[in-house]
Amino acid sequence: MIKKDGIFLIVGLGLIGGSYAKGLKKQGYTVYAISRGQQTIDYALENHIIDKGAVREDPVLIGQADYIIFGLYPHAMIDWIARNQRHFKPGALLTDVCGVKCNVVDKVQEFLRDDVEFIGSHPMAGKEVSGVQNSDETIFYTANFIVTPTEHNTEKGVGFAKELARLLGFYHVASLTPQEHDKMIGFVSQLTHAVAVSLMNTSDNTHLKEYTGDSFRDLTRIAKINETLWTELFFLNKKNLVQEIDDFVAELENLKQKIACEDEAGIKQLFVQSTERRKQFDK
């Protein structure tokens, strides 16, 4: 369904946007990009990651794109679309890479022109580094891609997002409502980041670094976090995340009570349960 001679425009050529560009070029597509920073565009052109690029919101580039992928942070994307939608080619298909879907997809769909379509999607891939220089299309080969259709989407739009995921070689493609997506991500991703950050912040234990082994390092690796992006993601999914933190704290307090009163049978049951559940997550 994605036309072989269709033109892709990537808006925001960072780590993820750049990885999309590389993957699409590999498949033979024409790829344009708009991104702040002349260095980013120059690098991408020199390395044949894109065919054309601009640092400005160029109406000509925008108007030529059949498919637009937004590699921007949520609020920046919403503002960008509001500012530039008058330039979109009629029939253009749009998607994003945001880690939260409620309060993002619905906002865009509310004000979007009727003759173009925005389908939310979330590539669950990343790296500890940023920028187009570190982009790498192979990060998608082991990753999940989630499409989040709403009542504003058509079969064509949903098909576009799923075909895009397959073109890029994602390991697994799934479809969830934005609500289901955000509940899932609140647990799997956001709660884990909140836990890692809080472990690191509990007290200044950097003097203990010579005593830490792999367990502590594994649990805190994601405490190195982009403060601008994650503040946005946490606030956009506030309700789910606060609930997940409450549930987790209740469970930890339950464990603590069993330690405090030396409830041997009770604590062993918790260990057996966590062991059983975790085994199901082994690949």
Q: Which of residues 90-129 bind a copy of itself (CB under 8 A)?
A: 124-125
Strand order in the sheet with 67-70: 52-54, 30-34, 7-11, 67-70, 93-96, 117-124, 144-148, 172-175
Which of 28, 215 has the CB closer to a copy of itself? 215
- Indicate the helix (H) or strand (E) that contains 146: strand 144-148
Query: CB–CB of 126/135 below 8 Å?
Result: no
3 binds a copy of itself (CB under 8 A): no
13, 80, 92: which is closest to 51 by C-alpha? Answer: 13
Cα distance between residue 84 and residue 78, in whole Å: 10
Cβ neighbourhood burial of 83 (10 Å; 0-12, 13-18, 19+):
exposed
From 3-11, 58-66, 92-100, 237-245, span contacting a copy of itself (CB under 8 A): 237-245
167 binds a copy of itself (CB under 8 A): no
Query: CB–CB of 167/23 below 8 Å?
Result: yes
From 60-68, 92-100, 147-155, 256-264, span contacting a copy of itself (CB under 8 A): 256-264
* 3-state secondary structure at position 5: coil
212 binds a copy of itself (CB under 8 A): yes
Pairing between β-strand 52-54 and β-strand 117-124 as defined by DSSP bridges: unpaired
Structure tokens, 139: 């990060």
Residues in the interface with a copy of itself (CB under 8 A) total 83
79 binds a copy of itself (CB under 8 A): no
Query: CB–CB of 125/140 below 8 Å?
Result: yes
Instruction: Name the β-bridge partners of 63.
Output: none
80 binds a copy of itself (CB under 8 A): no
From 7-15, 45-53, 156-164, 246-254, span contacting a copy of itself (CB under 8 A): 246-254
Which of 79, 115 has the CB closer to a copy of itself? 79
- Shortest Å distance, C-beta 208 to a copy of itself: 6
Among 5, 110, 114, 264, binds a copy of itself (CB under 8 A): 264
Among 59, 60, 172, 179, binds a copy of itself (CB under 8 A): 172
Distance of CA 51 to the CA centre of its chain: 25
- Shortest Å distance, C-beta 135 to a copy of itself: 18
Cα distance between residue 243 and residue 6, in whole Å: 43
From 31-39, 48-56, 67-75, 187-195, span contacting a copy of itself (CB under 8 A): 187-195
Cα distance between residue 88 and residue 64, in whole Å: 8
Which of 39, 273 has the CB closer to a copy of itself? 273
Among 3, 4, 151, 203, binds a copy of itself (CB under 8 A): 203
Which of 5, 264 has the CB closer to a copy of itself? 264
From 48-56, 62-70, 112-120, 251-259, span contacting a copy of itself (CB under 8 A): 251-259
- Shortest Å distance, C-beta 167 to a copy of itself: 21
